[in-house]
Chains A and B, each alone.
Chain A
């Protein structure tokens, strides 16, 4: 398969996934994940770089300038296939009030880059997202960030084996994160 064809196939996979989310076909969406998936979303903090003249650092060994949440830190989402399924099951109870009436979402996926993965059947896929949410009468939220996926070929179809999401906000401006990315 030519590289261009693989890229095209991955793009179509991601666009279809976005359509499943925007049409609330969450059970079909769940089928896109492997059983061992880690689905993780971090937010960002607000720190001076080490070179900043706004402070003089007292203890350089203790100074952290990285503003992306680490994997062992508290995340916005840190899910397994099982807990993702639990979140979908919760929406089916008829009592998941944050989504009742439901959010109206539109997932825009762009800046797609495809690279070879760690094994032959895997690909590393980077992309950006803008997710618009409209809710109730006039509520609006924008969730903007980056995705780093590992896609794995399973039984002739692509599955998401790992998804890291970086949400580019420090204090989240949305009242909740009741949708999927």
Chain B
């Protein structure tokens, strides 16, 4: 199957088979080859700040329990009881010393150890080795500047190598000020589309903004930076399938909210100092860490995961964030911009759903499925820019990022081990 799948993406010519958005067999293979191997975003450190704090999430379709144990160490386990496979923790979040399965009462400590088995002495005759039946941990768990990631693949490269040069682009969202960011709140909802449509959109689609979102710009919910004819910027691919939409250094995606605009003006020298000389070349305002973690700093500020739920369904988990050091009134303005711009009701975001839904659902037709998707915009008009540590498009709109994203997807679908995958751009030494 692997060889056949590799032919579904022709990144060189910008042609993508629509089969990858609808066929159940390809989706199953994607769960194995992409989601069970890549580093996936779990949550921000501040969401499990204190001993016992936990939250439940997913890696692909696998339910995961993230918990800080009583000694202060963070773990991520399959949220599945080892006995009958029941979901262990059924709450979104909370604080716990231990978790007890609702089915037969097996109890696990917040470090994953199986501590309690009802009738252990009588029914198991004391012969069940509890130390062998603790919760199943992820293969690797690591964090980058407060962003907690995990992978189910013990062979996956270390997180910093996986992120590669994308790390600097992440800094533009989470490390603009001392103390990093904090989470302001969460939105969760279901979209009837394949997860790759929002992932590619957030990582590279400046092209849809002047049409899809013009109504929000016209009615003052967004400044619509990329709709302006004199805007500058590039589509930037730092490698490994990670992609970012960058505007020019003097352009800003901040919403037309006086508190936020004034704050940004005030902190700009500090941010430039922190991010270094590259921030005088580009301003990354949206991006996707391959495969399904996106970040946004335009109109609103959100981190989000596109959880796959079958080929035709995606569950969006979106967190509004703010610089921890920002004053209270600015955080409040950011909270409101999040509700009004990027949320289920967001004046910007709500217009995306129908497009992604219909791009997915029309793939159900066997004839419509034969028609390849066109991602040819700017083909041959991007180059590696050593100053950006990334491939960058000549013009501010291009589908060069789409081609890199789907190109990486195809490589992962075909590769049996990480050694077969090309490496992204080398990391700057300051990230080593």
Decide if A and B are genuine partners.
yes
B340 and A47 contacting across the interface, CB-CB below 8 Å: no
Indicate which residue in A58, A86, A175 contacts B221 across the interface (CB closer than 8 Å): A86
Q: Is A2 interfacial (CB 8 A cutoff)?
A: no
Min C-beta distance of A1 to chain B, whole Å: 37
Q: Which of A73, A77, A175 has the most CB of B within 10 A?
A: A175
Question: Do A62 and B95 contact each other (CB < 8 Å), given the known contacts A74-B184, A74-B186, A76-B345?
Answer: yes
Which of A47, A55, A77, A90 contacts B99 (CB under 8 A)?
A: A55
Judging by beta carbons under 8 Å apart, are A74 and B344 in contact? Answer: no
A96 vs B92: C-alpha distance in the bound complex, in angstroms?
33
Contact: A93 with B218, CB < 8 Å? yes
- Which residues from A are CB-within-8-Å of B50? 59, 62
**B369 lies within 8 A of chain A by Cβ:** no
Q: Report the bound CA distance from A79 to B337 in whole Å.
A: 10
**Complexed CA–CA distance, A76 and B189 (Å):** 11
User: Of the 9-residue stretches A26-34, A123-131, A144-152, A166-174, which lies at the interface with chain B?
Assistant: A166-174
SS of B interface (majority): mixed
Which secondary structure dominates where chain A touches chain B? loop
**Is A54 an interface residue, CB under 8 A from the partner?**
yes
A97 touches B91 (CB 8 A): no
B351: chain A residues at CB < 8 Å are 96-98
Least CB distance, A30 to chain B, in whole angstroms: 14
Please tell me which one of the listed residues B99, B100, B219 contacts residue A89 in the complex, with CB atoms under 8 A apart.
B219
On whether the beta carbons of A54 and B99 are closer than 8 Å, the reply is: yes
- Taking CB atoms, residues of chain A closer than 8 Å to B52 are 57-59, 62
Contacting A176 at CB < 8 Å: which of B93, B336, B350? B350
Verify A175–B353 contact, CB threshold 8 A.
yes
Judge whether A78 and B339 touch: CB under 8 Å: yes
Flag if B345 contacts A56 (CB, 8 Å).
no
Interface positions, chain A 21-47, Cβ under 8 Å from B, are 41, 45-47
- Docked Cα-Cα span, A93 to B353, in Å, equals 18
Give the docked Cα–Cα distance between A2 and B93 (Å). 48
- Is the pair A58, B97 in contact by a Cβ cutoff of 8 Å? yes
Give how many A-B residue pairs fall within 8 Å (CB-CB).
150
CB interface residues, A 106-144, toward B, < 8 Å: 136
Per-position binary interface string of chain B over residues 334-350, scored 1 when its CB falls under 8 Å from any chain A CB and 0 otherwise = 01101110011101011
Residues of B within 8 A of A7 (CB): none
Band of interface residues on B: 35 or more
Knowing A58-B70, A63-B94, A175-B189 touch, does A77 contact B339 (C-beta < 8 A)? yes
Please, how many angstroms separate the alpha-carbon atoms of A97 and B209 in the complex? 12
Q: Which residues of A sit under 8 angstroms from B338, Cβ to Cβ?
A: 74
What CA separation (Å) do A55 and B351 show in the bound complex? 41
A57 touches B214 (CB 8 A): no
B344 and A176 within 8 A (CB): yes
Complex Cα distance A79/B191, Å? 24
- In this complex, which of A64, A72, A89, A172 has the most chain B Cβ atoms within 10 angstroms of its Cβ? A172
B146 at the interface (CB under 8 A from A): no
CB of A12 closer than 8 Å to a CB of B: no
Which residues of chain B are within 8 angstroms of A72 by Cβ–Cβ distance? 332, 335
Q: In the complex where A54-B102, A75-B339, A96-B215 touch, is A171 in contact with B188 (Cβ < 8 A)?
A: yes
Residue of B nearest to A80 (CB): B336
Which of chain A's residues has its CB closest to B314's CB?
A: A175
CB neighbours (8 Å) of B189 from chain A are 171-176
Q: Which residues of A contact B211 (CB under 8 A)?
A: 95
B63 to chain A, nearest CB (A): 13
Q: Tell me how far the C-beta of A177 lies from the nearest C-beta in chain B, rounded to whole angstroms.
A: 4
**Contact, CB under 8 Å: B190 / A54:** no
* Cα separation A45 to B190 with both chains bound (whole Å): 15
Contact of B98 with A by CB under 8 A: yes
What's the Cα separation between A47 and B340 when bound, in Å? 26
Chain B: CB-nearest residue to A70: B185
Contact with A along B193-226 (1 / 0, CB 8 A): 0000000000000000001101110111100000
Q: Which 3 A-B pairs have the closest CB atoms?
A: A74-B185, A58-B52, A172-B189
Chain A interface (Cβ < 8 Å from any Cβ of B): 41, 45-48, 53-59, 62-64, 72-79, 83, 86-87, 89-90, 93, 95-98, 136, 170-178
> Could you jot down 6 A-B contacts, CB within 8 Å?
A56-B100, A57-B94, A78-B339, A86-B219, A172-B344, A175-B357
